[in-house]
């Protein structure tokens, strides 16, 4: 009989301790959730000033130099300084022409791998920067499909 009473007392103590620990953990979880709700997200870091604008170029489709039956389709955007929409449209047309000229003199082997894509991006950004007299900060290649 003493053994049953001791087991019953220990069981009740364990239930009480478990309930107390559970309520403490639940309260702590609520405090953390409330703190996350009220926290303001940190500002996004950007390398561009407020005057920079992202302007989308029209899709470019052209054939490649080697092999002759391969085609490339590029969708890109350019990050520019503040300029009028008319000037930006003219600049976008000139940059699109430069991209076509560059792609027509390139082969598929030049674009293979991540290093090839990085060189393509760097070359096109440099050409756009030269064409715009420094008004284009970056040329972003959104898609490149070679068929």
Peptide bond before 67: cis, by omega within 30 degrees of 0? yes
Q: What's the whole-number mean pLDDT along residues 20-34?
A: 92
3-state helix, strand, coil in the chain (%, to 5): 55, 20, 25
pLDDT of residue 15: 95
Say if CB 141 and CB 74 are below 8 A apart: yes
Q: Decide: pTM greater than 0.75.
A: no
Percent of the chain residues topping a pLDDT of 90 = 66
Closest CA to 142 of 51, 57, 71: 57
Residues 6+ apart with CB under 8 A from 58: 92, 96
Query: Does the domain spanning 52-146 belong to CATH 3.30.479.30?
Result: yes
Residue 51 — pLDDT band, cuts 50, 70, 90? confident
């Amino acid at each position: 009989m003493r053994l049953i009473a001791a087991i019953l007392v220990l069981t009740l103590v364990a239930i009480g301790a478990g309930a107390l620990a559970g309520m403490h953990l639940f309260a702590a979880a609520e405090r953390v959730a409330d703190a996350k709700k009220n926290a303001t997200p940190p500002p996004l870091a950007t390398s561009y000033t407020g005057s920079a604008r992202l302007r989308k170029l029209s899709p470019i489709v052209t054939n490649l130099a080697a092999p002759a039956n391969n085609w490339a389709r590029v969708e890109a955007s350019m990050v520019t300084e503040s300029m009028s929409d008319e000037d930006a449209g003219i600049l976008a047309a000139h940059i699109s022409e430069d991209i076509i000229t560059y792609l027509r003199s390139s082969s598929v082997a030049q674009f293979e791998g991540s290093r090839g894509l990085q060189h393509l991006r760097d070359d096109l950004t440099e050409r756009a920067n030269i064409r715009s007299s420094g008004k284009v900060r970056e040329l972003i290649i959104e898609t490149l499909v070679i068929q």
